[in-house]
């Protein structure tokens, strides 16, 4: 492979490639290229914004589900309990709980256990049901229960309702006729 030497003659007043000497179609091509680059940037930004929102939703779902589990098991959920179970610091949990409070998913009172609002309880139940359907489907296709439970934890947040319905339909525990 040979390299070509590229020279920039745009500084030369007699250059055929100076902006003033470009044909109108070249100006259109430059504008189209700039527009395409702007579109690519906007598309990329939108994609990452959607990913960030999805991640925030996933975290919210994990937290309300864990809060519900802790309340069921121990009668209460505290910042320290959540930090221990998620393997993060108490300040990290506190920041997330504050966000969930702003989203009307939890009730947070200083020095009191965290409780779920009606909206938070509904989300926790929905997440728990989604988790069970995904886990049961994975077990049905031969995944061992421990692995299925771990895998379902990630999948439950990203699976479409349509796919979830098919999983549910194909799972004997949800469909005794199977």
Q: Is the pLDDT of residue 6 over 60?
A: no
Q: What token pair was written down for 31?
A: 């504008």
Is 174 or 87 the better-scoring residue by pLDDT? 87
**Helix, strand, or coil (residue 144):** coil
Start-to-end CA distance of the chain, whole Å, equals 62
Count of Cβ atoms closer than 10 Å to residue 57 Cβ: 14
State the DSSP code for 14.
T
* 42: number of Cβ within 10 Å: 10
Q: Domains plus CATH for the chain?
A: 38-116 (1.10.10.10), 118-178 (1.10.60.10)
Return phi, psi of residue 115, to 5°. Answer: -125, 160
Give pTM, 2 decimals.
0.69
Q: What is the pLDDT of residues 100-158, one digit of tens each?
A: 999 999 999 989 999 999 999 999 999 999 999 999 999 999 999 999 999 998 899 88
Q: Rounded to a whole number, what is the largest CA-CA distance in the chain?
A: 84
What pLDDT is stored for residue 22 in this prediction?
53
User: Looking at residue 11, what is its pLDDT?
Assistant: 46
């Amino acid at each position: 492979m040979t390299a070509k030497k590229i020279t920039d003659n745009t500084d030369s007043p007699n250059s055929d490639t100076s902006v003033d000497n470009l044909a109108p179609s070249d100006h259109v091509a430059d504008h189209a290229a700039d527009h395409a680059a702007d579109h690519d940037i906007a598309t990329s930004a939108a994609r990452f914004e959607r990913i960030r929102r999805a991640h925030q939703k996933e975290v919210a779902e994990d937290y309300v589900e864990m809060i519900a589990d802790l309340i069921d098991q121990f009668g209460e959920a505290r910042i320290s309990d959540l930090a221990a179970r998620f393997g993060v610091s108490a300040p990290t949990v506190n920041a997330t709980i504050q966000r969930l409070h702003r989203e009307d998913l939890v009730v947070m009172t200083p020095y009191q256990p965290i409780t779920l609002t009606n909206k938070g309880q509904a989300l926790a139940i929905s997440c728990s049901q989604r988790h069970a359907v995904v886990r049961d489907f994975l077990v049905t296709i031969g995944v061992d229960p421990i692995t299925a439970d771990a895998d379902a934890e990630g999948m439950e947040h990203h699976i479409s309702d349509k796919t979830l319905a098919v999983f549910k339909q194909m799972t004997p525990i949800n469909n005794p006729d199977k």
